[in-house]
Structures are given as C-alpha cells and as structure tokens.
Structure 1
C-alpha cells in the first residue's frame, strides 16, 4: 500500500502516470541467517523465454560498439523520441526496456539502521568481463546521441552515479536482468549484504525488519507477482527446491513405468519353453 493513501502502489502509479510510489512492509526473521546473506527479487508469470523477447537485443551495442543504426532485432524498441528528436535507444531491445527498476531497501529495527549492501558482485564474471563493455571516454558524452529506453526513468549512464565502475552497460543490475530466465517464475540476485559492518559480521540476526519498496515496476497487467527473498548459500549453492521436486517426480514416474512394463512382460510374454520350441512350421498365434 502507499504510505499515505489507502490504495495499492500498482493503482497509484497507474493513476499518476507512472509516478514513483513508496510502500512499507514489516516482517520478522524468526531465526539467524548465518554466513553470507543475499537479497533476491522474484517475478512470476513473466515469460523471459519468449523467442522474440530473447532475440530483442543488440550484442554489438552492449559490447560498447555504438552505432546510430541499432540491430533490427531491437525493433520496435530501437528508436525513441527525446524532446521531439528521434534518436537510437541505448541499450535497445525489449529485454533492456523492461529492466526491473524497483528499489528494495531493508531496515533493521533492532539496530535502527539500513542493512548495508553491495551493489556489485551480483553478476556472472563471464558476463561482465566478456559480454558487456562501455564505450571509451566519458559515458555522458559517449551516449549524447542516444536516448534511454522508453520505460526507463534515467539514462544508461545514470544507473549508478555513486560508482563509475558500475555504470553504463557494465551496471550489474542491467547485466543480471539481461541474462534471461528459462522459466516464467524466477528470481534474480539483487544485493549482497556487507558483512564487514558491525552487527552483520556473523550474518543477518533474527528480529524485526522493514522492507521499503520504491515501487516502479507494475506486474498486474500480465497477472504477475513480485517477491522479495532473503537467502544464504552453501557449498551446493543457494536453496532452490525446483531440482529436488523435479528429481522426485521424474524418479517416481520412471518407477511406475518400470512396474507397468514388468507386469506387461510377465502377463503377455512367451515362456522360455515356447521360445525354444519355435520352428519354421510354428503357426502364428
């Protein structure tokens, strides 16, 4: 809900031309989260695996090779109007245009402070080091002849004004989003808790917390949902029940199929004696 109105943020931004909305969600951790703690955002009923959506990007542009003629794969998100002037979009395409842009902040009520987090170290190193590059020189100058995607609130060189190394095409929020999910329900890494700060060295302790959401990303139109996830990792990675459930279901189906085939074999197959006595004159049964 919006803090000062009795309506949801989704309704508010729809009525106010996508104006940002802030809401507050209180929650309590009933047990300590020990070790490295990670924040994720999750989306449901969101088909990032759609063929046209997956292709809607310009990999040459994302490598810093800017061109005033973006790839045709980006259509219809290749050009946009800025102050009455039609300009190429950077980054172009449907994937970049739909970048998740909610701001999620966790506040500890026991420590009376915002939980410190890292905005970097969330993308695959192979993506950041190989697939994404910024154009040389000052980013604002480099992107002077380009405009932002239609659904963005800021330009690509303004994604992280506090860290120049996490800006432009090398912004890790952008890189994480550009790696499309295979299933319609998915989660993506959002932040890492900074465990070097006092009070967070052992992990995230149990107690009351507040999630502050700067709500910019509507999901009602495609009947989706958004979730905020706090998780830790082990030697086997983060907790994800999908593979376990899939293995159990497939294993059960294989077992049932094996039993059915065994019954068919026992009841319908020829005996060993009958098979031995088969000769050219044996009639078909």
Structure 2
C-alpha cells in the first residue's frame, strides 16, 4: 500500500514537472477536475421508507384516486345528451395501425407540400412508393389503406318518407394537423391537378388525391380532413375515428329526435382479408371527451390496489411491531 502511494506521488510529481517545462512532450494528468460534480461531492437525499411514511401514502392515493375514478366512469357513461352535437364515428376491429413498419410507411415532407419529396418520395414508403414509373402521392401503406366507405343517415317520418340528416365533414381533424402538418404542394395555387401532375394515385385508391373533395378547395388534396384523420394512426387494433358531425339545430328540438333511422353504407372498404369488422357509432362528448370508460376504471383500480395494500401492510406492521416490542421486555 505504501509503495503504491509513493509511486502515485512520484508519478504526479513527474507529471507536474513535465508540464512545467511545456513543449510537445508534456504529459497531461488524467485526474478529474476538483469540482463537486466530478468528485461526487454533490448533496444527495435518500428517503428512508418506514411504516409511518409508506402507509399514509397508500391510503392517501387510494382515497384520492377512487373518487376521481368513479367520477370519470360515471361521466363517461352519462354521455347520452341528445341536445349536444352528435359525432358520427366509423370503427374497425383487428386492424393493426400500430405495426412498426406501417407507422413508418409515410413521407411527412411530402405531406407538408415539399415539391422535391412529391417527385421523390421517401424509401420508407416502399412498396407503395412508385406506380407505373411515377411517384405515388400520397405514398406509403397508411395512405394506401385509407378508409373509403360512405355513410349516410336518414330519418324516417311518420308517413314513411326519408329525410337526410346533414353531416358536416369539416372540423373533424385536429387544427394542428389541418393547418401545420398537412399542406398541398404549390402554396396558394388552387389548381391541384397541375400541382400533382406527374404523380400517381395510391394503388388501392379509386381516384387521385386532388379529387377527394373537388367541390371544396379547402378540403381537397393533402388537407382533406377524412385523409388527415386516417393518417393519425391508432394505438390499438380496435379503434374508432371521427367521420362526421351532426350539429345541434338552432331551435330547441333535439339534434336527433326519437324515431326510426336508416343508415346507408356504400361498401368500398374490404375487411374480410384481415378478419376485421366495421361499425358505426353515434356519440356525444363531455368535458373529458368522448365515451371512454378506461380512464375511470384505471383510477378505480389503482386506488383500490393502493388502499388494499395499505390495509395489508398496516395489519402486518401492527402484528410484527407488537411482537418485537414484547420481545424486548426483560423478564
């Protein structure tokens, strides 16, 4: 041990002497700087977990989370007000939009209106990058699998006549997606046919991207809201996406009066190939969004588990603490 200390000091002296002479042959010391961070002298705090600190934490979490969960669950189940705007969703089951290659199969630069990406899409879009020697716009597997069923809702009067329910198709996408992430090429040029010239439609599409809504230039091309909603991939294989909005009428009559309705579906989107199912959902929303009981159930579960663990640990602590105290008493 002494020899090691002597050698280290001798080496430090040699390094210092060598450094004082300067020159190219000087040897620099590898010793860390004398700072609190590099010498590990920073102040630290380590909690000491005792029954007096752990048990109250479990009970407090349980008493807070359980009422919050009940409130969220009840609020989610009470979304049945016909006076609100009614939101029409389409749902798919057994469709894995969260697959890694599927999620990456897009070109965000192309979707943002970049001309170079429009003519030369990203390789992530393979095998839906080119078609017939032309670049595909929009490219990728997500765009290629766009949901294209048409849903129409009719109210059946007492005399048997049908009245079409107005379905609003704008305002269904996120504002940031509509105005920031998705832009048409050509800037303010409204001639989308010319802007997308030299490109090909996705393989599974029946019409090119500039004909998604030819009657409304603000809802056509890459900024079509049906397309934008689809491009925001779902996290689970069973999901729903907003399709249309049934706005509340100015009068005091309900948005959807009680009675008989007919839903007409133009079947374009096949689901048998992946053993999936399609569905349509009508729903209102509350302050916490659409109907989703998962958040309330999660709060109730976590709160109940914490409260249960608190009771179990309290019993264990009380039992063994008394035993230890009795063992310390002299005879």
TM-score bin, normalised by smaller chain: 0.7 to 0.9
> Which region of structure 1 is more displaced relative to structure 2, 31-40 or 161-170?
31-40
**Greater Rg, structure 1 or structure 2?**
2
Looking at structure 1, the residues matched to 178 and 328 of structure 2 have their Cα atoms a distance apart, in angstroms, of: 67
Alignment partner of 2:143 out of 83, 96, 101: 96
How do 1:36-115 residues align onto structure 2 when only pairs under 5 Å count?
36-66=85-115, 67=117, 68-81=119-132, 86-110=133-157, 112-115=162-165
How far residue 176 of structure 1 moved from its aligned partner, in angstroms, is 0.6
Task: State the alpha-carbon separation in 1 of the partners of residues 99 and 321 from structure 2.
Answer: 47
How far apart are the structure 2 equivalents of 1:113 and 1:166? 26
Structure number having the greater strand percentage: 1
Correspondence for 1:4: none
Aligned pairs for 1:1-285 (under 5 A) are: 33-66=82-115, 67=117, 68-81=119-132, 86-110=133-157, 112-136=162-186, 137=189, 138-196=191-249, 202-265=254-317, 271-273=323-325
Contact 2:247–2:255 under 8 Å retained in 1? no
CA RMSD between the two structures: 2.5
- Asked if 1 retains the 8 angstrom alpha-carbon contact of 2:150 and 2:266, the reply is yes
Q: Deviations over 1:159-182 (max 9, x none)?
A: 112211100000000111111111
CA distance in 1, matches of 2:218, 2:91: 26
Aligned residues: 242
Shift of residue 75, structure 1, vs aligned partner: 1.1
* TM-score, normalised via structure 2 length: 0.67
**Unmatched segments (≥5 aa) in structure 1:** 1-30, 278-285
Deviation at 1:105, TM superposition (A): 0.6
- More helix as a share of residues: 2
8 Å Cα contact 1:77-1:92 kept in structure 2: yes
Residues 233-242 or 142-151, more deviating: 233-242
Give the Cα–Cα distance (whole angstroms) in 2 for the partners of residues 73 and 148 of structure 1: 17
Give distance in 1, aligned partners of 2:180 and 2:274: 33
- Is the deviation greater in 264-273 or in 221-230? 264-273
Task: Please give the alpha-carbon distance, in whole angstroms, between the structure 2 residues aligned to 1:76 and 1:264.
Answer: 61
Scaled by the length of structure 1, what TM-score is found?
A: 0.77
